[in-house]
A = this chain, B = another copy of it.
């Protein structure tokens, strides 16, 4: 296992100089700071928003390939975190929004012994707010196409700040490669989070991530959006705005996946999805929104079994 200790952090997903070269098949262990740049010792070592570790240059990766990232482990590494206390105004009805105050920061204790986070000073009439720990990787992305550099506040077909609560240990993510080496970034660890990251923050804290990098050479087509899988589901991730477009992108990518990698006809792909597809929401608080389309792997396996 290779250890990578970051010394520089980025606030854009872009074609920055490789910070670490990795080979397909290698396992890397690294350290992420929180969304405001504070590390495991509570020291600010970089700037908001969502400072990224990397880029990891994957040897042999060329435009058109797929980068594979297996999330082997995400471990929190300090005893506190923070969040915000108020829904973002664009997430409530406009008439209600007129009465919404500015958000303020909440602080939480991370209680490793009881595997939960505990809100400090809960607002009345709440007596306690406790949520089980479930570490999530808020940001994962590669260098975008066309020479773009995109703020780590948002997301796109390159991944980015997707704030999807399914990005946990056990998930394998496939990312499109747009530039040589792919240039993988990660950051923005959450001790836990809702769908939507509705207040603009998960439970923000620092963490350590262990992941395995893989590479699929053009197979046979370029993926358009991120894909993921775990033991149970296939996932496709659309990052766009409005949410309707994000849903379109994720849904279309699922059709493509079934056709391209499973060899299904268009009709067969649609029939499998028709009674079984599910959706979850990632980031609903940046300039693009994240919609995830899920399909049970068992229904595909059963449909193709002899």
Write out the residue numbers on chain B whose beta carbons fall within 8 Å of the beta carbon of A125.
263-265, 268, 304
CB of B251 within 8 A of CB of A87, answer yes
Write out the residue numbers on chain B whose beta carbons fall within 8 Å of the beta carbon of A252.
92-93, 96
A231 at the interface (CB under 8 A from B): no
**Bound CA–CA A100/B95 (angstroms):** 9
CB of A148 within 8 A of CB of B147, answer no
CB of B299 within 8 A of CB of A129, answer yes
A267 at the interface (CB under 8 A from B): yes
A277 at the interface (CB under 8 A from B): yes
A306 at the interface (CB under 8 A from B): yes
Write out the residue numbers on chain B whose beta carbons fall within 8 Å of the beta carbon of A83.
274-275
- Residue in chain B with minimal CB distance to A277: B194
Interchain nearest-CB distance for A253 vs B (Å): 9
* Mask of A81-93 contacts with B, CB within 8 angstroms, 1/0: 0011111111111
CB of A271 within 8 A of CB of B129, answer yes
A286 at the interface (CB under 8 A from B): no
Stretch at the interface among A36-44, A55-63, A67-75, A195-203: A195-203
Q: A92-B248, A92-B255, A194-B278 are in contact. Are A271 and B106 (CB under 8 A)?
A: yes
**Bound CA–CA A240/B287 (angstroms):** 9
CB of A124 within 8 A of CB of B275, answer no
- Residue in chain B with minimal CB distance to A151: B146
Write out the residue numbers on chain B whose beta carbons fall within 8 Å of the beta carbon of A247.
91, 196, 243, 281, 284
A25 at the interface (CB under 8 A from B): no
CB of B129 within 8 A of CB of A303, answer yes
Known: A92-B255, A150-B150. 9 other contacts (CB 8 A): A12-B148, A86-B270, A87-B273, A88-B94, A91-B251, A101-B266, A125-B265, A196-B277, A242-B244
Pairs A–B under 8 Å by Cβ, sample size 20 = A11-B147, A85-B270, A92-B252, A94-B97, A94-B248, A117-B275, A125-B304, A127-B304, A128-B302, A129-B302, A130-B299, A194-B273, A194-B277, A196-B247, A196-B279, A203-B275, A241-B245, A242-B242, A243-B244, A278-B280
Q: Across the A-B interface, give the 5 residue pairs with the lowest CB-CB distance, nearest first.
A: A89-B94, A90-B94, A149-B149, A194-B277, A243-B243
